[in-house]
């Protein structure tokens, strides 16, 4: 019944958001989906600030630096079995001999496994 098919197609086109078509076409073309990062709306959220502070502390431990967390400037979150954070962090470098007290910008990826209360620093780069 062609008329029913057309009606169905019409309904799908009206009701299904464009982004789903985009994701389907990306998925079928074999490209990696990176669109599932969402901006963090509340940058004062304790969970997110804790993740940012963890990133700085963990980086200090790994790289023997002396960065001091200053502020969470921006962030994105991605949820799956846990939560990944892409955090833009302002930090002061207390180990820098030319220390001028100006916070610099670093970008950290932190993954958080909720059920294990486990946080991992996946990457830390900067100053950017
Ligand atoms: C953001 O999070 C902080 C800390 O949890 C909370 O006090 C504040 O009310 C939140 N702001 C909004 C707009 O939700
Ligand atoms: C994280 O955010 C920074 C700053 O917006 C961006 O340059 C970078 O590509 C992001 N990284 C990932 C893995 O999405």
Same domain for 48 and 27: no
Q: Assess whether 43 and 21 both reside in one domain.
A: no
The reply to whether 66 and 4 lie within a common domain is no
- Regarding whether 66 and 111 lie in a shared domain, the answer is yes
Give the pLDDT confidence of 37-87 residue by residue, as tens digits.
999 999 999 999 999 999 999 999 999 999 999 999 999 999 988 899 999
Q: Which two tokens stand for residue 53?
A: 């502070």
Examine the domain organization and report whether 112 and 52 are in the same domain: yes
pLDDT in tens, 82-104: 899 999 999 999 887 776 788 99
Which domain covers residue 4, as residue numbers? 1-31
> How many whole angstroms from 25 Cα to the centroid of ligand 2?
23
Q: What is the CA radius of gyration of the chain?
A: 21
- Number of domains composing the chain: 2
89 and 113 assigned to the same domain: yes
Encoded tokens for 122:
């996946």
Residue from 107, 109, 121 whose mutation best tests the ligand 2 pocket (most atoms within 8 A of CB): 107
CA of 82 to the centre of ligand 1 (A): 21
């Amino acid at each position: 019944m062609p008329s029913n098919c057309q009606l169905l197609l019409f309904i799908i086109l009206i009701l299904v958001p464009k982004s789903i078509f985009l994701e389907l076409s990306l998925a079928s073309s074999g490209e990696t989906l990176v669109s599932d990062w969402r901006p963090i709306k509340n940058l004062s959220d304790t969970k997110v600030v804790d993740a940012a502070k963890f990133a700085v502390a963990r980086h200090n431990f790994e790289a023997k630096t002396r960065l001091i967390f200053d502020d969470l400037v921006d962030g994105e979150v991605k949820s799956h079995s846990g939560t990944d954070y892409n955090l833009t962090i302002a930090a002061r470098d207390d180990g820098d001999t030319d220390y001028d007290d100006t916070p610099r910008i670093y970008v950290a990826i932190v993954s958080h496994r909720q059920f294990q209360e486990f946080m991992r620093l996946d990457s830390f780069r900067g100053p950017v």
